[in-house]
Amino acid sequence: MMDEILIQALSGLSRGMVLFVVASGLTLIFGTMRIANFAHGSFYMLAAFLTYSVATMVGDRTWGFLAALCLAPPIVASVGALIEWGLLKRIATRPHQYQLILTYAITLIVADGIKILWGRDYRTVARPAGLDGAITILDMPFPTYNAMLILVGVLIAVGLHLLLTRTRFGKTIRAAVADGEMIGALGVNVQRLFTGVFALGAGLAGLGGVLAAPVGSVSLGIDTSIIIESFAVIIIGGVGNVMGALIGAVLIGVVHAVGILFAPKLAIAFVFIALCAVLLIRPQGLLGRST
């Protein structure tokens, strides 16, 4: 039984890592700009479809995936920057609901846009050579690709941590999260900061999309399933906090994976059960500042 729980926890961890990568972008955008970005799932879906196209064009499964890994996140980040610069900036001084609805409108446009560009079929992306098999952990097979996801997730977490603590851009972001009003007074170009953060966030969603593409299927509708879980992650972790997002995502992944051993029929509600539990204890999220 212990072995089973461990192996479940491990698979939950790999699931949580993709979620973390996507949610980290969402939490940075929210923390800095105070925008609940519905289009975040769209960025993720767009990157997954781009991965399919790049992989198909390159042909080789390994090089195709690597090419997508290099190309898709920057493309999606540019789309994000364009949206921030062209649309969100214009309504930056308006109340929240306008920004919320604007990002919602983008989800609709992207969903149909992808349908126009890629068609209605669902697709698959092959896993890179050497990552399509399984390794043995505790006498159980465990997919190599998922093991790699865990490693990559940790690397991205470390990278983001360094970015936020060691670079000027990162420190500005943290200052903006802590006190949005002060940041303008300090002589920071808030406009450029916002565009940068939105692009970074979109790029992270894109990175999540590339990493997730070889796991399952690339299809219309993957945007909505990731966005709600990502929102849950950042509420659990505390908004604006990347480490909180990591903890929240891992928590959701592991609770889900271990939970289905004991209460399989509650699987669809695990995310919300975890959410309610955290809210009861810490309404501001695990690592959130209390207000």
Partner 1 sequence: MTVQPLPPLQPAAGSAASMRTKTIIGGGLIVGLYLLPFVLGESYLFLSIDFLIMALFAVSYNLLLGQAGMLSFGHAAYYGLGAYTVAILFNKLAVPVHIGLLASPFIAGAIALAVGWFAVRVTGMYFAMLTLAFGQLLHTVVMGWYGFTGGDDGLPVMPPDWLLPARNYYLFVLTVTLVSLAALRLITLSAFGTALNAIRENRQRAIFVGLGVRNYELGAFVIAGAFAGIAGAMRAPLQQMAFPSLLHWGQSAEPVLMALAGGIHTFAGPIVGAAIFVFTNFVITTYSEYPLLVFGVIVLLVVLYLPGGVAGAVIDAWERLRRRAR
Partner 2 sequence: MKVTQKAYGRRAVTRAMLGAMALGPSLAGVARAQSDIKIGLTTDLTGIAASYTRSTVNGVELGIDEVNAGGGLLGRKVALLVRDSQLKPDLGTTHTRDLITREKVDVLIGPNSSAVGLTVSAVARQYQKPVIMTTPNTPRLPMELFHPHFFTLVPSGLMEARAMAEVMGPKGKKFAFIGGDYEASHQGLKFFKERLAKVNPAAAFVTEAWPKLGEPDYTSYITKLASAKPDVVFSYLWGADLVGFIKQAKPYGLFNRTAVGTLLFMDDLKALGQEMPDGIWGQMRAPFFAMQGDTVSRFVERYRAKYNDYPADFAIMGYEAVMAYAGAIKDAQSVEAPALVKALEAGTFDLLRGKTKFRQLDHQGDVPSFIGKTAAGDKVPFKVLAEVERVPADKIWPSEAEVLEARKAK
User: Which residues lie near partner 1 (CB under 8 A)?
Assistant: 30, 34-36, 87, 90-91, 93-98, 100-102, 104-109, 111-113, 115-116, 224, 228, 231-232, 234-235, 239, 265, 268-269, 272, 275-276, 279, 283, 291
Q: How far is the CB of 126 from partner 1 (least distance, A)?
A: 30
Smallest CA-to-CA distance from 76 within 52, 42, 53, 127 is with 42
Task: Give CA 75 to chain center in angstroms.
Answer: 16
Q: How far is the CB of 22 from partner 1 (least distance, A)?
A: 15
The answer for residues whose C-beta is within 8 angstroms of residue 241's C-beta and 6 or more apart is 27, 31, 177, 285, 287, 288
* Contacted entry of partner 2, partner 1, none for residue 95, CB cut-off 5 to 8 Å set by kind: partner 1
Q: Helix 222-237 to helix 242-262 angle, to the nearest 10 degrees? A: 110
Q: How far is the CB of 168 from partner 1 (least distance, A)?
A: 27
Smallest CA-to-CA distance from 118 within 247, 213, 227 is with 213
Within positions 97 to 136, which residues make up the interface with partner 2, using CB under 8 A? 112, 115, 119-124, 126, 132-134
Residue 12 makes contact with partner 2 by CB under 8 A: yes
Cβ–Cβ under 8 Å, residues 76 and 51: no
Pairing of strands 134-137, 140-143: antiparallel
CA distance 248 to 232: 8
Closest to partner 1 by CB, 112 or 179: 112
How many residues touch partner 2 (CB under 8 A)? Answer: 46
Closest to partner 2 by CB, 76 or 177: 76
Closest to partner 2 by CB, 110 or 212: 212
* Contacted entry of partner 1, partner 2, none for residue 74, CB cut-off 5 to 8 Å set by kind: none
Residue-by-residue DSSP string for 64-129: HHHHHHHHHHHHHHHHHHHHHHHTGGGGTTS-HHHHHHHHHHHHHHHHHHHHHHH-S--B--PPPT
Beta strands in the chain (DSSP E): 134-137, 140-143
Q: How far is the CB of 190 from partner 1 (least distance, A)?
A: 18
* Count of beta carbons in the 10 Å neighbourhood of residue 104: 14
Mask: binding to partner 2, 209-248, rule CB under 8 A, as x and -? ---x--xxx-xxxx-xxx----------------------
Name the CA radius of gyration of the chain, rounded. Answer: 19
Mask: binding to partner 2, 250-269, rule CB under 8 A, as x and -? ------xx--xx--xx-xx-
Q: How far is the CB of 20 from partner 1 (least distance, A)?
A: 18
Look at residue 164 and give its three-state secondary structure: helix
Stretch that binds partner 2, among 13-21, 84-92, 189-197, 236-244 (CB under 8 A): 13-21
* Contacted entry of partner 2, partner 1, none for residue 62, CB cut-off 5 to 8 Å set by kind: none
Cβ–Cβ under 8 Å, residues 222 and 44: yes
Torsion of Cα atoms, 215 then 216 then 217 then 221, to 10°: -110
Closest to partner 1 by CB, 105 or 182: 105
The answer for residues whose C-beta is within 8 angstroms of residue 148's C-beta and 6 or more apart is 131
**Interface residue list for partner 2 (CB under 8 A):** 4, 7-8, 11-12, 14-15, 18, 112, 115, 119-124, 126, 132-134, 140-146, 212, 215-217, 219-222, 224-226, 256-257, 260-261, 264-265, 267-268
